[in-house]
Amino acid sequence: VYEQLARKYGSVFCIPAILGYSRLVLFDPKVIQHFYSHEMFLHQQTTLTKQFIENLVGNGVLRAEGDSHKRQRKALTPAFSDAAIRRLTYIFFDSAYKVGACSRDLHPP
C-alpha cells in the first residue's frame, strides 16, 4: 500500500490517522536517515505509540527519546559499523542457505 502511495504522491506524504490526525510518511531511505540523525529532538512519539512499542519490545532504544535515545544510539553505533556488519556477513549467508535448503526439503520441485 505504501509503495503505491509513494508512486502516486512521491517519497514524502501524509496519510490520515485516527481522531483527525495525520501521519507523515517518509519513503526515501536518505530522507529517513536525515530526519532521524538531525531532527531527533523534534520527533516525539504519542503516548499510545510509546505504550505499544514498550509492550511489544520493552523499554529500550526503540522507545527512548531525547537524551536517553542519544546515549543509547551512541553506545550502539560501533555494533552497526561497516566493519562489524562485514564480520557478520557469513552468518547471514549461512542462515539464508539453511532456510533455502529447508524450504527445498519441504517443497521439492
Grid cell for residue 90? 557469513
Contacts of 38 (CB under 8 A, 6+ apart): none
Does residue 25 have a pLDDT over 70? yes
Of residues 4 and 45, more confidence is placed in 4
Question: Looking at the structure, do residues 66 and 104 belong to the same domain, yes or no?
Answer: yes
Indicate the number of domains in the chain. 2
**Mean pLDDT of the 35-56 span:** 74
Cβ–Cβ under 8 Å, residues 2 and 12: no
pLDDT at 108: 61
Average pLDDT, the chain: 81
Q: Which residues pair with 25 in a beta bridge?
A: 13
Total-model pTM:
0.42
Question: Looking at the structure, do residues 33 and 74 belong to the same domain, yes or no?
Answer: no
Cβ–Cβ under 8 Å, residues 56 and 33: no
Range of the domain at 18: 1-43
Does residue 76 have a pLDDT over 60? yes
Confidence of residue 46 (pLDDT cuts 50, 70, 90): confident
Question: Looking at the structure, do residues 23 and 69 belong to the same domain, yes or no?
Answer: no
Question: Looking at the structure, do residues 14 and 31 belong to the same domain, yes or no?
Answer: yes
Grid cell for residue 6? 509513494
Grid cell for residue 23? 501521519
Question: Looking at the structure, do residues 36 and 79 belong to the same domain, yes or no?
Answer: no
